[in-house]
Amino acid sequence: MTRQQIPEQADLVVSASLEETRFVVSGTHQEVSDCLEVLCVALSDLPVGQLGEVAHTLDGEAASCLDLRTAGALNARYGSQATGLEGHERSWHYLPTADMLLGHAAAWFTRANAVLTLTGPNPAGLRLPLPLGDRPRRSAPQARQPCASWTHRNIDGVALSVETPVGSAAAAVAHRILRERVTAAVTGQPLREAPVEAATALHDSVTVVRLLLASTPASDAEGVAATMWSEALSLARNEPAPAEVARHCPPSGGAAEKLRTLDDAARTELFGTPFLDEGSRRHALECVTPRDVRDSWQRAMERAQLVVPQGLLLHLKGPDGRRLWCTSCWTWDEIPPGGQAFRQPPVKHVLRRTAERHWVILTGESVVSCKPGAHHELRFDDVIALERWGSERNLIGRCGCNVGVDPAWYRGGQRLTRALDDAIPTELAFDGAELARPAGP
- Output the pLDDT for position 436: 38
436, part of any domain? no
Q: Rounded to an integer, what distance in angstroms lies between the CA atom of residue 12 and that of residue 40?
A: 13
Q: Which of 153, 154, 112 is CA-nearest to residue 136?
A: 112
Tell me the C-alpha to C-alpha distance, in Å, between residue 32 and each of 121, 245, 255. 11, 42, 20
Is residue 226 located within the same domain as residue 170?
A: yes
**Residue 88 corresponds to which amino acid?**
H
Rounded to the nearest 10 degrees, the angle between the axes of helix 290-301 and helix 221-237 is 130
Mean pLDDT of 245-269: 83
Mean pLDDT of 237-260: 84
Is residue 28 located within the same domain as residue 103?
A: yes
Is residue 173 located within the same domain as residue 206?
A: yes
Mean pLDDT of 353-382: 88
pLDDT in tens, 226-235: 999 999 999 9
H or E segment and range at residue 288? none
The answer to whether residue 341 scores a pLDDT higher than 90 is: yes
The answer to whether residue 174 scores a pLDDT higher than 80 is: yes
Of 266, 292, 327, the residue that ends a domain is 327
- Output the pLDDT for position 47: 81
H or E segment and range at residue 155? none
74, part of any domain? no
Q: Which of 206, 418, 213 is CA-nearest to residue 307?
A: 213
Burial class of residue 51 (count of CB atoms within 10 Å of its CB; 0-12, 13-18, 19+)? middle
Q: Rounded to an integer, what distance in angstroms lies between the CA atom of residue 435 and that of residue 63?
A: 15
Name the least confident of 4-8, 245-249, 375-379, 409-413: 4-8
Q: Are strands 158-165 and 305-308 parallel, antiparallel or unpaired?
A: antiparallel
Give the chain's domain count.
3
Is residue 229 located within the same domain as residue 280?
A: yes
Is residue 219 located within the same domain as residue 339?
A: no
Which CATH number characterizes residue 424's domain? 2.30.29.30
Higher pLDDT, 62 or 311: 311
Q: Rounded to an integer, what distance in angstroms lies between the CA atom of residue 216 and that of residue 218?
A: 6
φ and ψ at 253, to 5 degrees?
125, 170
pLDDT in tens, 391-439: 999 998 888 888 999 999 999 999 999 999 999 999 999 887 543 333 3
- Output the pLDDT for position 130: 94
Name the least confident of 81-95, 139-153, 307-321: 81-95
In contact, 299 and 263? CB cutoff 8 Å: no
In contact, 196 and 186? CB cutoff 8 Å: yes
Max intra-chain CA distance, the chain: 78
Q: Hey, CA dihedral for 140, 62, 89, 227, is it positive or negative?
A: negative
86, part of any domain? no
Is residue 321 located within the same domain as residue 335?
A: no
Size of the chain, expressed as the number of residues it contains:
441
pLDDT in tens, 53-92: 665 555 444 455 678 889 899 999 998 877 777 777 654 5
Is residue 304 located within the same domain as residue 406?
A: no
Mean pLDDT of 229-246: 97
Is residue 99 located within the same domain as residue 167?
A: no
89, part of any domain? no
- Output the pLDDT for position 318: 96
pLDDT in tens, 177-203: 999 999 999 877 555 445 789 999 999
Q: Rounded to an integer, what distance in angstroms lies between the CA atom of residue 263 and that of residue 119?
A: 11
219, part of any domain? yes
- Output the pLDDT for position 441: 33
In contact, 328 and 376? CB cutoff 8 Å: no
- Output the pLDDT for position 91: 46
**If you average pLDDT over every residue of the chain, what do you get?**
85
131, part of any domain? no
78, part of any domain? no
Of 261, 292, 327, the residue that ends a domain is 327
Q: How far is CA 323 from the centre of its chain?
A: 27
The answer to whether residue 98 scores a pLDDT higher than 90 is: no
Burial class of residue 119 (count of CB atoms within 10 Å of its CB; 0-12, 13-18, 19+)? exposed
E-only strand ranges, 178-288: 196-202, 207-214
158, part of any domain? yes
Is residue 265 located within the same domain as residue 277?
A: yes
In contact, 16 and 65? CB cutoff 8 Å: yes
Which CATH number characterizes residue 189's domain? 3.30.830.10
Rounded to the nearest 10 degrees, the angle between the axes of helix 221-237 and helix 169-187 is 140
In contact, 71 and 213? CB cutoff 8 Å: no
In contact, 130 and 172? CB cutoff 8 Å: no
Mean pLDDT of 357-373: 93
Is residue 189 located within the same domain as residue 48?
A: no
Is residue 170 located within the same domain as residue 310?
A: yes
Task: Identify the domain containing residue 156 by its residue range.
Answer: 149-327
Is residue 176 located within the same domain as residue 259?
A: yes
Higher pLDDT, 169 or 87: 169
